[in-house]
Amino acid sequence: MRIVNKRKFIRTITILLSIGIIGLIIMNKVYSNADIVYKEHYIYDGDTLWSIAEEQIANNEYFENKDIRYVIFELQNINNLKTSNLSGGNIIKIPVLK
């Protein structure tokens, strides 16, 4: 494919990129307007972040259709966990949509 008119090509690419960026900004604002609250989840012996993440994907609208690795990473970040090891008796925060 040969570009015949470079000006029109550059203008078209610029317009398409602008529309894409504006679309991303609008989508981000719509998603950001959802109220997020945190619920506390009591950790029992034998609980793992993997099992908690599976449960959240199935029952929590905030994590709906998310990859389990993303959910585990998110839970680690929210709760300032250095590792994925959990101790029974602790409490972690889990985000939910209000």
Distances in Å between the alpha carbon of 65 and those of 10, 17, 45?
A: 37, 28, 27
On the CB side of 70, how many CA atoms lie within 13 Å of its CA?
7
Query: What are the φ and ψ backbone dihedral angles of 60, each rounded to 5 degrees?
Result: -120, 120
Task: Indicate the pTM of the whole model.
Answer: 0.64
Cα separation of 1 and 32, whole Å? Answer: 41
30-60 tens-digit pLDDT? 555 567 899 999 999 999 999 999 999 999 9
Overall residue count recorded for the chain in this entry? 98
Side chain identity at residue 80, one-letter code: N
